[in-house]
Amino acid sequence: MGTEKRVLDTSMLMLAVNFAVILFYGIICPVTTFRICRSLQAYEFLSAAGTIPQNPLMVPLGALTQFALLTAVSLRKQTDENGVPRNAGFVCFAEIILCIGIIWSLNFYYTGIALLVLADLVNYIRDNKVRVLLLVILVFIFAFGRYEVISAQTGKVAFSVYLSFYDAKIQGYLSAIESVLVSANILLFVYYMVLLFNGESAEKERIRSLYDQLKKANSELERMTEIRERNRLAREIHDTLGHTLTGIIMASEASLALFDRQPEEARKRLEAVAGAARDGLSDVRQSIRALRPDTLEKHTLQQALEEMIKKFEAATSVKVDFRQEAGDLYFASDEEDALYRIVQECLTNAVRHGHADAICVTIRQQESALLIDIRDNGRGSADIKEGFGLRHMRERLDLLSGSVTYGNRKDDPGDGQEGFYVIASLPVRSIKGGN
Amino acid sequence: MDKAEKNIGWFVILMTFLIMIWGTVDLTHKRTVTLRVGVYAGSYWDSPNGDCYRILDQAIKRFESEHEGVKVEYVSGIGSADYSEWLTEQILMDREPDVYFVLPEDFDLLVTSGALAPLDHLILLDGSFDTEAYYEPCLSAGRRGGIQYALPQESVPTIMFVNKTLLSRAGIDMPAADWTWNDCLNICQQVTERIPEAYSTYDYSWNDALYANNASLFSERGDSCSLTDSNIRDAIRFISRLEEMNHGRIVTSRDFDLGNVVFRPFLYSEYRMYQPFPWRVKKYTNFEWDGLPMPAGPDGDNVSVLQTMLMGMSSRADHPELAWEFLKLLCYDREIQLDLYKYSRGISPIAEIAENSGIVELLQKDIPGTTEFDAEVIHRIMTSAVEVHRFPGYDRALMMAENGVREEAENDSSRGDGLLSLQREINEFLSENK
């Protein structure tokens, strides 16, 4: 981001300006001292200074060493992936201590280093309370660390005393350099803060808009989930209850027809009806609980299909020819669900709409697809309308990247007989051998 | 361990390493401690002194044998005129000696700048040291604001030179040691009347006289001037009366050398330098001379101005205890002080040494006839002497006062009190100078 780079550039510039200031004082103090000693003005200097100066070389050595440490701490400090500072306490403490150390080494001539540290820490620490605390501490150091303010306590030599040993022209140049550097640091600091807080408010604005979008998307998603869940529920009810109830109706009608002639047979059928009703109830319960077919819960897909077909035959006395030619079937549970429901739906449809009495269910593998071919001998459909069942079948298969084709067997060139056919195709994800 | 922790780890290791190096250096340093001494060559008191390093070398030898592993160093060849500059240069470069001589005029600067270490706690803790041994005026020369910053090493009072030949020519006896301004005026009056080519005094200003009239030109802190005090007015009047006897003639050093001047204040060091044979004859060939305490004013005593060479130790000394021991050796040890008294030109600030009858006799043995300078006179001079506090700007303020008073005397003083406006002017300067 542009602002971030500009903030970084400004802080680097501040670092450079502060280095220049330290170099300035670090050169002037020892060089002037040597000059004074060479021109035999030491006595005059001590009289003017009124206090013994520290070792002249300690000004550059002390200040530059501490400045190097400060730079190292500043450049190597890190934040974790969430932008939270690491070792924040250590970094703040170290930088403030080094800041005071540098000011002390520079005989309190220059406190602008506090602004450098403040700029650095304000960008690093995002907690506003800590920021205010740092601001108070460092601005205090900046304002009251000046030689003019605490000269009485420091026992340091005023910088003006050093300058007074040059002639007026050089004094002018040196003062100009000093004030340009000091003002540059302050200006850079102000610019830095403006950049930083502008950048931060822009970022806050961006975050707020993203948050709004997220909220909208979230409510949309909730609505979608609700609709999808409702659809799924409808499908489940259709699949389980519809199938079972069709079977029950068919079987009970047959029982009614047989009731007078073959009461024994009718009783058997009714028992089957009762069984189917119980299974249906269990299915409904299961659906409510897990929305999964009960038989699949307990058995493999093949067993579940065989079970379902057996029950169907028993309930409807329709002859179902089940051919499993795809070897052992192992699918993910969503695929198993889909296969099971498709077969179930087709059987129900064949009886309900086609009034078939013989159905052929073939499962075979063709290249990388599993084909479920269901053909009945019913009357087919003159005007094929995709009802709830077929639509759900398609939806289920779509979810699994599969497809479905259906139509009258007459229209299928390889068949030509009476009846209806459905071919569901499902890409094979895993068919494991074994068992 | 994250990166920041690793950094802290490195930092700690680095610091430990540095501290270890520093510790090692410090330990090896301790094996041979070097004590540096700041010393000037020759004599501060304008009198040649060939043996300037002799006593110091003796003291160093003794100190080194008493303190094993200690080496005492000094830079030789720094004349007393260059000494102040040399010393401040060392201070500026942070390499000043641990123990150094403090010239009287530098004492104030070295105290206010914090170059000298206060000695009070060392004095207090040292059971073998007693400040009572010193003459109080000498000791107080090393004191500012009630704190002792330096010890007196040698003192030189101002005394009065008397031309005995002129006195005997005029038929006047040597005055007694407790003589007064009136005695002085009478003698000069008689001598100048009886001997036409004789002059009263040379180089005797009201500033030299006022201390004997219980006055002080500047306050202790150097922030005000009391030129209009009646005691000072008396001194000015006293000197102008002496000058009137010269009938407007400006007396020169040549007049003095020719033996035509009765009195001249001079330093005791010069007295000691030139009084013994053969210097006495070589310096002033055609007259006999001697010294006297300064004449007492109507409100004062025979008070001399005292100049005291001090020794102090640096506030940045690496081994303050050793520095104190060495300082004590030079300024307090009886043996060293006795040697100093023998070979230098001043008076020992330690009463016991200064009044040691053996030494006083030794000093007197070359002086023909009687001399006033017995142990009792030395005691009187040294106990009553005053130290002039030379604050920064002292020389300038004194010059203003002297010039002003001279102008006042030359002009007709009848047109109002010129001294009052002069005093105001000097006070203004002093307050600006602060």
Q: Can you spell out the DSSP letters for B332-389? A: T-HHHHHHHHHHSSSB-SBHHHHT-HHHHHHHHTTS-S--S-SHHHHHHHHHH-EE--
Nearest residue of A to residue B109, measured between CA atoms: A47
B317 touches chain A (CB under 8 A): no
CA–CA separation, A216 and B360 (whole Å): 113
CA–CA separation, B304 and B265 (whole Å): 10
Nearest residue of A to residue B392, measured between CA atoms: A47
Q: Which DSSP symbol is given to A241?
A: I
CA–CA separation, A241 and A283 (whole Å): 8
Query: Look-up: residue for tokens 């800041």?
Result: A99
8 Å CB contact of B5 and A33? no
Given this model, what pLDDT does residue A434 score?
A: 36
CA–CA separation, B159 and B163 (whole Å): 13
Nearest residue of A to residue B434, measured between CA atoms: A50
Lowest-confidence pick of A13-17, A54-58, A207-211, A386-390: A386-390
Q: Confirm if B147 and B305 have CB atoms less than 8 A apart.
A: no
Tokens of A408: 């009258």
Residues 149-178 of A with CB under 8 A from B: 155
Tokens of A120: 């650095």
Nearest residue of B to residue A77, measured between CA atoms: B4
Q: Confirm if B79 and B41 have CB atoms less than 8 A apart.
A: yes
Shared domain check, B46 and B121: yes
Of the candidates A33, A37, A49, the beta carbon closest to that of B113 is on A49
Q: pLDDT digit string (tens) for B123-166?
A: 999 888 998 999 999 999 999 889 999 999 888 899 898 888 88
φ, ψ at B222 (rounded to 5°): 70, 25
Shared domain check, B179 and B144: no
Lowest-confidence pick of A196-205, B162-171, B227-236: A196-205
B contacts of A97 (beta carbons < 8 Å): none
8 Å CB contact of A86 and B4? yes
- Could you tell me which residue, A401 or B23, shows the higher pLDDT? A401
CA–CA separation, A159 and B124 (whole Å): 38
Residues constituting chain A: 435
Smallest CA–CA distance, residue A214 to chain B, in Å, is 34
Q: pLDDT digit string (tens) for B53-79?
A: 888 888 899 999 998 888 999 988 888
CA–CA separation, B327 and B240 (whole Å): 45
* pLDDT at B371 exceeding the cut of 80: no
Q: Confirm if A43 and B83 have CB atoms less than 8 A apart.
A: no
B433 touches chain A (CB under 8 A): no
Quick one: A26 exposed, middle or buried, by C-beta within 10 A (0-12, 13-18, 19+)?
A: buried
8 Å CB contact of B85 and A47? no
Which stretches does DSSP call E strand in B145-270? 147-148, 150-163, 199-201, 261-267
Report, as an integer, the average pLDDT of B45-60: 75
Shared domain check, B294 and B354: no
Lowest-confidence pick of B182-191, B274-283, B331-340, B403-412: B274-283
Residue B401 maps to a domain: yes
Query: What's the domain range around B240?
Result: 157-305+382-433
Q: pLDDT digit string (tens) for B172-200?
A: 988 888 899 999 999 999 999 998 888 99
A53 touches chain B (CB under 8 A): yes
Label residue B370 by pLDDT band (50, 70, 90).
low
CA–CA separation, A417 and B271 (whole Å): 157
8 Å CB contact of B4 and A77? yes
Shared domain check, B315 and B209: no
Cα→Cα distances B180→B183, B213, B214, B295, B298, Å: 5, 10, 13, 4, 8
Shared domain check, B239 and B165: yes
Report, as an integer, the average pLDDT of A301-321: 85
- Mutant choice from A39, A46, A91 vs B, greatest count of B C-beta within 10 A: A46
Closest to B385 in 3D by CA, of B211, B176, B132: B211
- Percent of the residues in chain B that have a pLDDT greater than 70, as a whole number: 88
B2 touches chain A (CB under 8 A): yes
Shared domain check, B141 and B40: yes
Strand A369-376 and strand A358-366: the pairing is antiparallel
- Mutant choice from B83, B88, B394 vs A, greatest count of A C-beta within 10 A: B88
Tokens of A150: 């605490």
A contacts of B84 (beta carbons < 8 Å): 43
Label residue A169 by pLDDT band (50, 70, 90).
very high
Q: pLDDT digit string (tens) for A34-79?
A: 999 999 899 989 888 888 888 888 889 999 999 999 998 888 887 7
Shared domain check, B178 and B47: no
Smallest CA–CA distance, residue B113 to chain A, in Å, is 4
Shared domain check, B312 and B287: no
User: A361: helix, coil or strand?
Assistant: strand
* pLDDT at B372 exceeding the cut of 90: no
Smallest CA–CA distance, residue A292 to chain B, in Å, is 49
Strand B150-163 and strand B261-267: the pairing is antiparallel
CA–CA separation, B213 and A384 (whole Å): 144
* pLDDT at A352 exceeding the cut of 60: yes
Residue B8 maps to a domain: no
Quick one: B18 exposed, middle or buried, by C-beta within 10 A (0-12, 13-18, 19+)?
A: exposed
Q: pLDDT digit string (tens) for A93-138?
A: 889 999 999 998 888 889 999 999 998 888 888 788 888 998 999 9
Tokens of A27: 């050169």
8 Å CB contact of B112 and A37? no
Nearest residue of B to residue A162, measured between CA atoms: B92
B contacts of A55 (beta carbons < 8 Å): 93-94
Report, as an integer, the average pLDDT of A388-412: 84
Nearest residue of A to residue B315, measured between CA atoms: A52
Nearest residue of A to residue B111, measured between CA atoms: A51
Q: Which DSSP symbol is given to B415?
A: S
Given this model, what pLDDT does residue B294 score?
A: 92
A contacts of B85 (beta carbons < 8 Å): 40, 42-43
Rounded-to-10 torsion of CA A161, A166, A170, A171: 20
Domains in chain B, number: 2
Smallest CA–CA distance, residue B316 to chain A, in Å, is 10
User: A308: helix, coil or strand?
Assistant: helix
Cα→Cα distances A268→A58, A352, B313, Å: 111, 22, 127
Shared domain check, B228 and B184: yes
B7 touches chain A (CB under 8 A): yes
Which is it for the CA torsion A171, A177, A182, A187, positive or negative?
Answer: positive
Run of H or E residues at B73: strand B70-74
Closest to B134 in 3D by CA, of B359, B387, B353: B353
B8 touches chain A (CB under 8 A): yes
Q: pLDDT digit string (tens) for A220-241?
A: 888 888 888 788 778 877 777 7
Within 8 A by CB and 6+ apart from B278, the residues are none
Q: Confirm if B122 and B324 have CB atoms less than 8 A apart.
A: yes
- Percent of the residues in chain A that have a pLDDT greater than 90, as a whole number: 21
Query: If you write DSSP's letter for every residue of A115-163 in order, what string do you get?
Result: HHHHHHHHHH---HHHHHHHHHHHHHHHHHSSHHHHHHHH----HHHHH
Report, as an integer, the average pLDDT of B261-267: 89
Lowest-confidence pick of A291-305, B307-321, B417-431: A291-305
Q: Confirm if A107 and A24 have CB atoms less than 8 A apart.
A: no
Q: pLDDT digit string (tens) for B8-20?
A: 778 878 888 788 7
B contacts of A47 (beta carbons < 8 Å): 109, 392
φ, ψ at A408 (rounded to 5°): -80, 145
Nearest residue of B to residue A49, measured between CA atoms: B113
Shared domain check, B253 and B400: yes
* pLDDT at A381 exceeding the cut of 90: no
Closest to B349 in 3D by CA, of B306, B314, B391: B306
Given this model, what pLDDT does residue B25 score?
A: 66
Lowest-confidence pick of A140-144, A159-163, A198-202, B175-179: A198-202
B37 touches chain A (CB under 8 A): no
User: B414: helix, coil or strand?
Assistant: coil
Residue B395 maps to a domain: yes
Shared domain check, B277 and B312: no
Shared domain check, B401 and B355: no
Q: Confirm if B167 and B262 have CB atoms less than 8 A apart.
A: yes
pLDDT averaged over every residue in chain A: 84
A contacts of B392 (beta carbons < 8 Å): 47
- Could you tell me which residue, B63 or B247, shows the higher pLDDT? B63
Q: pLDDT digit string (tens) for B285-320?
A: 678 888 888 999 999 888 989 989 999 999 999 889
8 Å CB contact of A37 and B89? yes
Nearest residue of A to residue B2, measured between CA atoms: A86
φ, ψ at A403 (rounded to 5°): -150, 165
**Domain of residue B335, CATH code:** 3.40.190.10
Residue B2 maps to a domain: no
8 Å CB contact of B89 and A42? yes
Given this model, what pLDDT does residue A14 score?
A: 93
CA–CA separation, B363 and B347 (whole Å): 11
- Helix and strand element counts for chain B (H, E): 20, 11
Lowest-confidence pick of A144-153, A272-281, B393-402: A144-153
Q: pLDDT digit string (tens) for A408-418?
A: 888 887 777 88
Closest to B310 in 3D by CA, of B80, B193, B151, B139: B151
